[in-house]
Amino acid sequence: MTGVQTCALPISLSGMQYNPNKMMELQKRNDKLNFNWTNDVSLTSGVRYNYYDRTGNGFNRGYMSMNLTARIPLRIFQTDYLALTHLQEDEVKLEMRQEDELKWLEISNLIYELRYKQKQFSNLLEKQRLHSDLLRNYHGLKTIEDPSFQPIEGLNALDEFWAMEIEKIDLLQQMYLKLGEIQEKIPNEAISQYIVPWNGNMSIIEGVSDSNYVADSRSMYLWSKAWMDKSATEIITNVRVWNIQKLLISAGGSESHFPQFKQLVSMAERNELKCDLLIGNNRWLTSNITPKLDSVWNKISDLPIEGIHLDIEVHTFDGFQDSPDAFFLLYMNRIREASAFCKIHNLRLEVSIPLTYPVEILQELEMLCDEIVVMAYETKGPKQIQSRIADELIIGKDKITVALRAKDYVSKASMEADFRELKDLLKVKNVVLHDYQTYKVLNQ
């Protein structure tokens, strides 16, 4: 499968922007001529030849007369007349603006459809790239005659690769058809002047943001139960398609799973994904966690792990409501130990917390941690999150990240809408999705 030639990248539009100012200026000049008061003023002239025949007296006389008449209606000096003129001008402008906006609404819909197809094309490219790696592995197994090589699996992977290639060609055809429809809407413009080679990172139109995609840094919880029964290729493919930049990966509790964990982290690095070690074992609360961190780190220190993410949920313990201070004391001891460990090994320290921790705990977390992920689960929308996260934003500042849970939503669109609103309300740059398994359901 080396050297496979696939179809070219699609095109994009550059420089096409809705700018009605030019047409409005021309219309304004035209209105000044059509609705000017001089149109109601008239000036006429006349020439008359008069001949008088007075034969009875023997005297004839003929003469010529000329006249010049100006007609100036008095109503042009009245306020009502001037107001009517302005109303007539506004009516013409409104009709023109409505027609123009309707046309550009149709063009915007076509551009969105084009952008959506480009997104599909980009996803297929990413899947093909990962499939190419898989096919090279199969080719290597066949070359060395490895007993684990399964010809049927290799042929199925090859069949899927070329099926994606056929789908890409179909998408290319559909994109050019959309360009033709856009050209029909603006016949006086040569759409060819806006067409440029496209890549997956560029905007559909320069200077115009696509409101259907949130441009941010996204992380995702990936618990061990989500990757133990799946291939690393499948997981990384989905994560790349979902536009995730960082994985918070749990290594699992059994040493037998470490080889699979290492394979997953290594593949993530090859695909330019950052990885943090996710630790969510509540049993670590009651004793010093430094020996436990040492034990885990000795097994994975050769991996490209950038930080440790602690998800010890002290508020879920029995008895917490009766004596929260005692539990918070244990919790902060563990955070201090983790902070010292991370400084020694040059790692980032991140924590996940609910919306209920007191101010004094938030203040110390801000000093010890590099990132604080606030789990805004089971809330009633972005406005309520905004009101409940006020202390965290003031204390944590730019260290605060908001996490939403896919299980709380019925569709991906509704979750994306909340992310967009939270970004505007809270001005946070990073978001976290909980978690791989439930978010995958929303994408089906």
Q: Tens digit of pLDDT per residue, the chain (444 long)?
A: 344 444 544 555 555 554 555 555 656 666 665 656 666 677 788 777 766 655 555 555 666 677 777 777 766 666 666 666 666 666 767 777 777 777 777 887 788 788 788 878 877 887 887 778 778 878 877 887 777 788 888 888 888 889 888 988 888 888 888 888 888 887 777 777 666 665 555 443 443 343 444 446 889 999 999 898 888 888 888 888 788 899 999 988 777 788 889 889 988 888 889 999 999 888 899 999 999 999 989 888 899 999 999 999 998 898 888 899 999 999 999 999 999 999 999 999 999 999 889 999 999 999 999 999 999 988 878 888 888 888 888 888 888 889 999 999 988 888 888 888 888 888 777 889 998 999 988 877
Task: List phi, psi (to 5°) of 68.
Answer: -135, 120
CA nearest to 276, candidates 369, 395, 377: 369
Q: How high is the pLDDT of residue 348?
A: 94
What element of type H or E holds 52?
strand 42-54
CA nearest to 34, candidates 99, 90, 98: 90
Alpha-carbon distance of 260 to 300, in angstroms, equals 12
Q: How high is the pLDDT of residue 8?
A: 47
Q: How high is the pLDDT of residue 215?
A: 43
Chain-centre distance of CA 364, in angstroms?
A: 34
**Contact between 320 and 358 (Cβ < 8 Å):** no
Residue 232 CB neighbour total at 10 angstroms: 18
Distances (CA, A) of 27 to 22, 93, 94: 9, 7, 11
Point out which residues pair with 45 in neighbouring strands: 68
What element of type H or E holds 348?
strand 348-353
CA nearest to 402, candidates 364, 360, 440, 352: 352
pTM for the full model?
A: 0.57
Q: How high is the pLDDT of residue 222?
A: 94
Distances (CA, A) of 257 to 90, 161, 300: 73, 29, 12
